[in-house]
Each structure stands twice: as structure tokens, then as C-alpha cells.
Amino acid sequence: METAPQPREFRRRPRSRVSCPVTVEAGNRIFRGETLNLGPSGAKLSLDERLQEGTAATLHFTPAEGRPMDVEAIVWRSDDDGAVFFFIKATPANPQPSQ
């Protein structure tokens, strides 16, 4: 029995299968969804609407056992199962003021 060839992985850094709620701000629109996978330079999100490649967005999410994050990103690719975002700049959400 033959199996289908597995697609070759070209990522420079691995992604982990992670599921957490995410809010996406793109222009004047807000989308709610869930992460499908997460890595140091990007994430794939399940959203109710398909976003166009190149769309700038801010992602708001809290990874498991992590701090809330606000991430500036762009839609790198739109697949049938979700949008792939490339991270541009990540900052802790609601940073604490310096004392």
C-alpha cells in the first residue's frame, strides 16, 4: 500500500499546535478566532472570514502559560483552513509602567 508523499517543510523555525482565542484587528474591523499553530515568527489562525494576503493586522492573544501579547502582523497566506500571519512586532499587552 502506497502512502501519499508528505509535503516538505520549509519553515526556518518550527511551529507548535496551539489552540487559544485570538482577536484580530484589521483596519476598522475586528475578528475573533483561534490559533491553529504558533511559532516565533508567525501563526496560523482559524477565522470566520478569509483575509486578503498583505493585510496588516494586530493580533491579541494569550498563549498557554504565557503573558498576553499584542502582535503587529501581516497576512502572509490564506489557506482553506485559515490565515497565516507573519509577525512584524510583538509586545506584551498592557505593559506595566516602569518604576
Higher pLDDT, 14 or 98: 14
Taking a C-beta distance cutoff of 8 angstroms, is the pair 73, 60 a contact?
no
pLDDT(1) > 70: no
Whole-number pLDDT of residue 97 = 54
Whole-number pLDDT of residue 22 = 96
Can you tell me which residue has the cell 502582535? 71
Range of the domain at 70: 27-92
Q: What is the CATH number of the domain that holds 56?
A: 2.40.10.220
Decide: residue 8, CB within 10 A, 0-12 exposed, 13-18 middle, 19+ buried.
exposed
Whole-number pLDDT of residue 29 = 96
In-domain check, residue 51: yes
- What CA–CA distance (Å, rounded) separates 32 from 45? 10
Cα angle at 29 between 23 and 32, to 5 degrees? 25
pLDDT(8) > 50: no
pLDDT(3) > 90: no
